[in-house]
Chains A and B, each alone.
Chain A
Amino acid sequence: QVQLQESGPGLVKPSETLSLNCNVFNESITTYYWNWIRQSPAKGLEWIGHVFHRGTTRYNPSLETRVTISLDTSKKQFTLALKSVTAADTAVYYCASSFGPYSNFDYWGQGSLVSVSS
Protein backbone atom coordinates (compact mmCIF):
# COMPACT_ATOMS: atom_id res chain seq x y z
CA GLN A 1 0.00 0.00 0.00
CA VAL A 2 0.97 3.62 -0.37
CA GLN A 3 3.42 4.96 2.19
CA LEU A 4 4.11 8.65 2.66
CA GLN A 5 6.88 10.30 4.64
CA GLU A 6 7.21 13.99 5.42
CA SER A 7 10.55 15.70 5.98
CA GLY A 8 11.67 19.23 6.68
CA PRO A 9 12.71 21.63 9.42
CA GLY A 10 10.75 21.59 12.65
CA LEU A 11 11.34 25.28 13.36
CA VAL A 12 10.79 28.24 11.06
CA LYS A 13 11.20 31.92 11.86
CA PRO A 14 8.30 34.35 11.44
CA SER A 15 8.07 35.91 7.95
CA GLU A 16 10.17 33.10 6.43
CA THR A 17 9.05 30.25 4.17
CA LEU A 18 7.99 26.88 5.54
CA SER A 19 9.08 24.09 3.22
CA LEU A 20 8.22 20.40 3.57
CA ASN A 21 8.76 17.40 1.35
CA CYS A 22 6.69 14.25 1.11
CA ASN A 23 8.21 11.09 -0.35
CA VAL A 24 5.90 8.53 -1.93
CA PHE A 25 6.61 4.81 -1.62
CA ASN A 26 4.96 1.73 -3.14
CA GLU A 27 2.87 3.66 -5.64
CA SER A 28 3.21 5.54 -8.88
CA ILE A 29 3.28 9.30 -8.48
CA THR A 30 0.84 9.54 -11.41
CA THR A 31 -1.96 7.58 -9.73
CA TYR A 32 -3.23 9.90 -7.04
CA TYR A 33 -3.79 13.49 -6.13
CA TRP A 34 -1.25 14.53 -3.52
CA ASN A 35 -2.42 16.68 -0.65
CA TRP A 36 -1.16 18.71 2.25
CA ILE A 37 -3.29 18.97 5.39
CA ARG A 38 -2.42 20.58 8.68
CA GLN A 39 -3.75 20.22 12.21
CA SER A 40 -3.57 22.64 15.09
CA PRO A 41 -5.52 23.04 18.33
CA ALA A 42 -6.81 26.41 17.15
CA LYS A 43 -7.98 25.49 13.65
CA GLY A 44 -8.37 21.72 13.77
CA LEU A 45 -7.80 19.85 10.51
CA GLU A 46 -7.34 22.16 7.54
CA TRP A 47 -6.88 21.10 3.94
CA ILE A 48 -4.11 23.19 2.37
CA GLY A 49 -4.21 22.02 -1.23
CA HIS A 50 -3.27 19.35 -3.73
CA VAL A 51 -1.23 18.66 -6.84
CA PHE A 52 -1.79 16.17 -9.65
CA HIS A 53 0.90 14.75 -11.91
CA ARG A 54 -0.34 16.81 -14.88
CA GLY A 55 0.62 19.92 -12.96
CA THR A 56 -2.88 20.74 -11.76
CA THR A 57 -2.98 22.40 -8.37
CA ARG A 58 -5.78 23.58 -6.15
CA TYR A 59 -5.42 25.52 -2.91
CA ASN A 60 -7.56 26.47 0.03
CA PRO A 61 -8.62 30.10 -0.58
CA SER A 62 -7.63 30.93 2.99
CA LEU A 63 -3.98 30.15 2.12
CA GLU A 64 -3.92 30.61 -1.63
CA THR A 65 -1.82 33.78 -1.67
CA ARG A 66 0.97 32.15 0.35
CA VAL A 67 1.09 28.50 -0.71
CA THR A 68 2.69 26.53 -3.53
CA ILE A 69 2.55 22.76 -3.93
CA SER A 70 4.82 21.20 -6.51
CA LEU A 71 5.63 17.72 -7.75
CA ASP A 72 8.93 16.10 -8.71
CA THR A 73 8.00 12.90 -10.53
CA SER A 74 11.61 11.76 -10.90
CA LYS A 75 12.07 11.79 -7.13
CA LYS A 76 8.52 10.59 -6.37
CA GLN A 77 8.21 13.57 -4.09
CA PHE A 78 5.91 16.54 -3.64
CA THR A 79 6.65 19.73 -1.79
CA LEU A 80 4.78 22.33 0.24
CA ALA A 81 6.02 25.91 0.38
CA LEU A 82 4.18 28.33 2.66
CA LYS A 83 5.60 31.82 2.71
CA SER A 84 5.41 34.68 5.19
CA VAL A 85 4.60 32.40 8.10
CA THR A 86 3.37 33.54 11.50
CA ALA A 87 2.79 31.76 14.79
CA ALA A 88 -0.69 30.86 13.50
CA ASP A 89 0.98 28.50 11.01
CA THR A 90 2.36 26.34 13.81
CA ALA A 91 0.82 22.92 13.27
CA VAL A 92 1.37 19.29 12.47
CA TYR A 93 1.59 19.05 8.68
CA TYR A 94 0.45 15.86 6.98
CA CYS A 95 0.81 14.73 3.41
CA ALA A 96 -1.99 12.52 2.14
CA SER A 97 -3.24 10.86 -1.03
CA SER A 98 -6.66 11.03 -2.64
CA PHE A 99 -8.10 9.38 -5.76
CA GLY A 100 -9.60 12.51 -7.21
CA PRO A 101 -9.95 16.25 -6.79
CA TYR A 102 -13.13 15.75 -4.77
CA SER A 103 -12.30 12.84 -2.52
CA ASN A 104 -11.50 11.49 0.88
CA PHE A 105 -7.91 10.95 1.95
CA ASP A 106 -6.84 7.34 1.77
CA TYR A 107 -3.28 7.32 2.99
CA TRP A 108 -1.51 9.72 5.33
CA GLY A 109 2.05 10.38 6.38
CA GLN A 110 2.94 10.31 10.07
CA GLY A 111 2.96 14.09 10.23
CA SER A 112 5.65 16.70 10.77
CA LEU A 113 5.40 19.24 13.58
CA VAL A 114 6.43 22.70 12.42
CA SER A 115 6.74 25.50 14.94
CA VAL A 116 6.98 29.14 13.91
CA SER A 117 9.07 31.06 16.40
CA SER A 118 12.00 33.44 16.52
Chain B
Amino acid sequence: EIVMTQSPATLSGSPGERATLSCRASQSISSNIAWYQQRPGQPPRLLIYGTSVRASGVPGRFSGSGSGTDFTLAISSLQSEDFVTYFCQQYNDWPLTFGGGTKVEIK
Protein backbone atom coordinates (compact mmCIF):
# COMPACT_ATOMS: atom_id res chain seq x y z
CA GLU B 1 0.00 0.00 0.00
CA ILE B 2 1.24 3.48 -0.89
CA VAL B 3 1.33 5.69 2.19
CA MET B 4 0.64 9.38 1.66
CA THR B 5 2.12 11.69 4.29
CA GLN B 6 0.92 15.27 4.49
CA SER B 7 2.75 18.09 6.22
CA PRO B 8 2.28 20.11 8.22
CA ALA B 9 -0.73 18.70 10.04
CA THR B 10 -1.77 22.26 10.82
CA LEU B 11 -0.73 25.39 8.96
CA SER B 12 -1.35 28.83 10.46
CA GLY B 13 -1.68 31.70 8.04
CA SER B 14 -3.18 35.13 7.60
CA PRO B 15 -5.60 36.26 4.90
CA GLY B 16 -3.68 37.34 1.83
CA GLU B 17 -0.65 35.20 2.62
CA ARG B 18 0.64 32.37 0.47
CA ALA B 19 0.22 28.84 1.81
CA THR B 20 2.15 25.76 0.76
CA LEU B 21 0.93 22.28 1.67
CA SER B 22 3.03 19.17 1.09
CA CYS B 23 2.27 15.55 0.35
CA ARG B 24 4.87 12.80 0.12
CA ALA B 25 4.23 9.32 -1.30
CA SER B 26 6.03 6.26 0.06
CA GLN B 27 6.91 5.31 -3.54
CA SER B 28 6.72 6.96 -6.93
CA ILE B 29 3.18 7.73 -8.10
CA SER B 30 4.15 9.51 -11.33
CA SER B 31 1.69 12.43 -11.60
CA ASN B 32 -1.30 10.49 -10.27
CA ILE B 33 -2.28 12.69 -7.35
CA ALA B 34 -5.40 14.66 -6.52
CA TRP B 35 -6.10 17.29 -3.88
CA TYR B 36 -9.39 17.85 -2.08
CA GLN B 37 -10.79 20.54 0.16
CA GLN B 38 -13.13 19.61 2.97
CA ARG B 39 -15.29 21.93 5.01
CA PRO B 40 -16.73 20.75 8.36
CA GLY B 41 -19.76 18.53 7.86
CA GLN B 42 -19.24 18.39 4.10
CA PRO B 43 -17.77 15.79 1.75
CA PRO B 44 -14.37 16.43 0.19
CA ARG B 45 -14.43 18.59 -2.92
CA LEU B 46 -12.03 17.89 -5.78
CA LEU B 47 -9.60 20.78 -6.32
CA ILE B 48 -6.72 19.40 -8.38
CA TYR B 49 -6.08 16.18 -10.32
CA GLY B 50 -3.18 14.93 -12.41
CA THR B 51 -0.87 16.89 -10.07
CA SER B 52 -1.69 20.31 -11.53
CA VAL B 53 -5.04 20.36 -13.33
CA ARG B 54 -7.66 22.46 -11.60
CA ALA B 55 -11.12 20.93 -11.43
CA SER B 56 -14.05 22.85 -12.86
CA GLY B 57 -14.90 25.97 -10.91
CA VAL B 58 -11.76 25.96 -8.74
CA PRO B 59 -10.27 29.45 -8.32
CA GLY B 60 -6.93 30.20 -9.94
CA ARG B 61 -5.25 30.87 -6.60
CA PHE B 62 -5.01 27.10 -6.14
CA SER B 63 -2.16 25.36 -7.93
CA GLY B 64 -0.49 21.97 -7.76
CA SER B 65 3.01 20.81 -8.60
CA GLY B 66 5.48 17.98 -8.13
CA SER B 67 6.27 14.55 -9.51
CA GLY B 68 7.40 11.15 -8.34
CA THR B 69 7.04 11.21 -4.58
CA ASP B 70 6.88 14.90 -3.58
CA PHE B 71 3.91 17.13 -4.31
CA THR B 72 2.69 20.56 -3.32
CA LEU B 73 -0.63 22.37 -3.19
CA ALA B 74 -0.19 26.14 -3.13
CA ILE B 75 -2.76 28.77 -2.30
CA SER B 76 -1.39 32.05 -3.62
CA SER B 77 -3.43 34.37 -1.42
CA LEU B 78 -5.48 32.92 1.42
CA GLN B 79 -9.13 33.91 1.46
CA SER B 80 -11.43 33.50 4.44
CA GLU B 81 -13.12 30.46 2.88
CA ASP B 82 -9.76 28.68 2.45
CA PHE B 83 -9.26 28.08 6.18
CA VAL B 84 -10.41 24.46 6.12
CA THR B 85 -8.81 21.02 5.67
CA TYR B 86 -7.04 19.63 2.60
CA PHE B 87 -6.30 16.05 1.61
CA CYS B 88 -4.13 14.47 -1.06
CA GLN B 89 -4.95 11.16 -2.75
CA GLN B 90 -2.89 8.88 -4.97
CA TYR B 91 -4.42 6.86 -7.78
CA ASN B 92 -1.29 5.26 -9.17
CA ASP B 93 -1.95 1.90 -7.55
CA TRP B 94 -4.53 -0.01 -5.56
CA PRO B 95 -5.62 0.44 -2.91
CA LEU B 96 -6.27 4.09 -3.61
CA THR B 97 -5.04 5.98 -0.55
CA PHE B 98 -5.35 9.40 1.06
CA GLY B 99 -3.08 11.53 3.17
CA GLY B 100 -3.98 12.39 6.74
CA GLY B 101 -4.85 15.98 5.90
CA THR B 102 -3.58 19.50 6.55
CA LYS B 103 -5.80 21.90 8.44
CA VAL B 104 -5.27 25.54 7.46
CA GLU B 105 -6.15 27.82 10.33
CA ILE B 106 -6.19 31.56 10.82
CA LYS B 107 -3.10 32.86 12.59
Contacts and interface: CB of A to CB of B under 8 A. Distances in A.
A108 interface: yes
A4 B95 CA distance: 22
Interface in A70-117: 94, 96, 98, 101-106, 108-111
Given A94-B43, A108-B44, A47 B98 contact: yes
Contacts of B100: 44
Candidate in A45, A61, A62 with the most chain B CB atoms within 10 angstroms: A45
B43 A108 contact: yes
Contact of A102 (B42, B92, B97, B98): B92
Contact of B91 (A61, A94, A104, A109): A104
B71 interface: no
Contact of A61 (B42, B87, B95): B95
B21 interface: no
A60 interface: yes
A58 interface: yes
A46 interface: yes
B75 interface: no
B91 A45 contact: no
Contacts of B46: 104-106
B98 A44 contact: yes
A78 to B, nearest CB: 16
Interface string B43-55: 1111001000001
Contacts of A110: 42-43
In the A-B complex, the 5 residue pairs with the smallest Cβ-Cβ separation, listed nearest first, are A104-B34, A108-B43, A45-B98, A60-B95, A47-B96
27 contacts: A44-B87, A44-B98, A44-B99, A44-B101, A45-B44, A45-B89, A46-B98, A47-B96, A58-B94, A60-B95, A62-B95, A94-B43, A102-B32, A102-B91, A102-B92, A102-B94, A104-B46, A104-B91, A105-B34, A105-B44, A105-B46, A106-B46, A108-B43, A108-B44, A108-B45, A109-B43, A111-B43
